[in-house]
Chains A and B, each alone.
Chain A
Amino acid sequence: MQRSTITWIFALILAAIVSIAGTLFYVGGNPRRKLIISTTTSLFDTGLLDIIEDKFEEEYSIDLCFISVGTGLAITHAERGDADLILVHAPSKEKTFLEGGYGTCRKIVAYNFFAVVGPETDPANVTGLQPKRALLRIVENCRHQRAKWVSRGDDSGTHTKERELWTVAGFNWTSIRDEPWYVEAGAGMGKTLQVADNLDAYTVADMGTFLKYKKDGIIGLHALVAQGEELLNVYSAIARNPTKHPHINYEDAIAFIKYLVSEEGQHALSSFANEYYGQSLFYPAVNILEQNDDSTELQWMKKYAFIDGYECPPEFWNNHPELYT
């Protein structure tokens, strides 16, 4: 009797030691410096960041840790000091982030276009229209119960874009969200596309996620409106200001930003998944910004993604002017 109790206790202690040692092995076995990056799902879910991580870690002794969340939460993480760097796509929110003293050294790294996607039958007949015109038609048809609209409804970069599109088209988002045809998914891009697919509804999607879901046969939706200034989607990297949070890995954050805007990093971005999709998911932005000519893309980018006329206003350069010259 006594012996079996001792055996039990012994087994329990042994199991505890093994499992704690094992966990420490997994957790503590990495001597490289950690760089925590809070990122928008639209970059992460395509698999792009996995590729960039592998390439970057080959050259640098820095351990990249990606936390994939919506742009809203990514910014919150950084504000609370839980991320050293953010990769996001909502210029209006980035402006607030910088001006709140949380961010420094913003660099625009890539761009692509959002798309208004919808069912093949296209009941509102918007294929190929300008984004503004397309939204007007969609609302008109929705109000006649011929169509529905699905929104991310999760305060992400894509959701921010959608609300901006409604404003551009002359609608008040806070009032149309209460109309019966307006469905808020409160979910990520993938789930929202699936909901839209099931409801035969229209929605706004980032190209990366849409193409992936389309290619894998998960959804039957079509990209109906995919060009136009209003649909521009710009991705930026911003380092967390280390002033109030001395633990922030600022040095490595700058190193990673420099890698992203380097020729190598830009090439990794633009060549990602080219063969698989037959088109680029992300276009490199650095060349366009550096050439500073009259290209349409640059004009659009300046209008949409610049903050007070700058990629990053000088007061936020934080001793890194070399990033901007």
Chain B
Amino acid sequence: MWEFLENPILQITIRSLQISGTATLLSTLWGLPLGIIIGIKSFTAKRLVKGAFNALLGLPTIALGLILYLLFSRSGTLGFLSLFPSAQAIIIGQAILITPIIVSLTASAVESINPEINDLAKTLGASDVEASIAVLRESIGGVLLAVIASFNRAIAELGVALAVGANLRGKTQVLTTVIAMEVNRGNLEYSIQLTMILLIIVFSITVSVDILRRRIA
């Protein structure tokens, strides 16, 4: 009954979801606290730090892919890790790619809520972490948007996946790299089927998170 799992389209789709999902989780893990800190605290270099993350929002995937390839290649600085070509390398690359989105959008979401909540929570005897959680709860809508925008960017990007994953059949093929390959091979019908899957994933996740946001907010 599990034969349908052998279907290559299904495998590629699941792999795409796992790679980009893991990348999103990783970048959320470090990006969310960073975004909240930048949003709450006021410090001297704040504008500089925010500006840097905003600038990295538009990082071209092909540029990041090339840099990571040169790092992960056997002749590169991190060659001993033998990460090229692998799915882990794509996860790392996509996590780096989307970190600025999480940080920037989280910081903006946190800044947009009433700054007194942080102070109020502390006045009521909350610790720094507890106060941050209170702030996070208030800005959860914006934070969810940040996470979902990141995931969408990760699953839709081609440059990093191709450069460090190299589109190995059954191993590092994700939706975008297979679409690119099949276009090269002239299989336009197959490509458009995969494209539809990619679009359905992106739209349905965005819509369901939007519904979730409204419920929470």
Taking Cβ atoms with an 8 Å cutoff, the residues of A that contact B are: 1, 5, 12, 15-16, 19-20, 22-23, 26-27, 30, 36, 41, 45-47, 50, 53, 65-68, 80-82, 188-191, 209, 212-213, 216, 218, 245, 247
Which size class do B's interface residues fall under?
35 or more
Complex alpha-carbon distance, A189 and B181, angstroms: 12
Residues of B within 8 A of A20 (CB): 22
Contact for A27 among B21, B25, B75, B87, CB less than 8 A: B87
Does residue B167 face the partner (Cβ distance < 8 Å to A)? yes
Min distance, Cβ B117 to any Cβ of chain A, angstroms? 13
Does residue B46 face the partner (Cβ distance < 8 Å to A)? no
Complex alpha-carbon distance, A68 and B19, angstroms: 21
- A218–B186 CB distance below 8 A: yes
Min distance, Cβ B28 to any Cβ of chain A, angstroms? 8
Residues of A within 8 A of B85 (CB): 36, 65, 67, 82
Taking Cβ atoms with an 8 Å cutoff, the residues of B that contact A are: 14-15, 18-19, 21-22, 25, 28-29, 73-76, 79, 82, 84-88, 91, 133, 137, 166-169, 171, 181, 183-188
Complex alpha-carbon distance, A28 and B32, angstroms: 29
Min distance, Cβ B67 to any Cβ of chain A, angstroms? 14
Complex alpha-carbon distance, A66 and B166, angstroms: 8
- A247–B74 CB distance below 8 A: yes
- B137–A45 CB distance below 8 A: no
Asked, given contacts A19-B25, A23-B87, whether A212 binds B185 with beta carbons under 8 Å apart, the answer is yes
Residues of B within 8 A of A80 (CB): 73-76
Interface centre among A30, A65, A188, A218 (most CB of B within 10 A): A65
Residues of B within 8 A of A247 (CB): 74, 82
- Across the A-B interface, give the 5 residue pairs with the lowest CB-CB distance, nearest first: A81-B74, A80-B75, A67-B166, A45-B185, A19-B22
- B184–A188 CB distance below 8 A: yes
- A213–B186 CB distance below 8 A: yes
Residues of A within 8 A of B183 (CB): 190
Q: Which residue of B lies closest to A23 (CB)?
A: B18
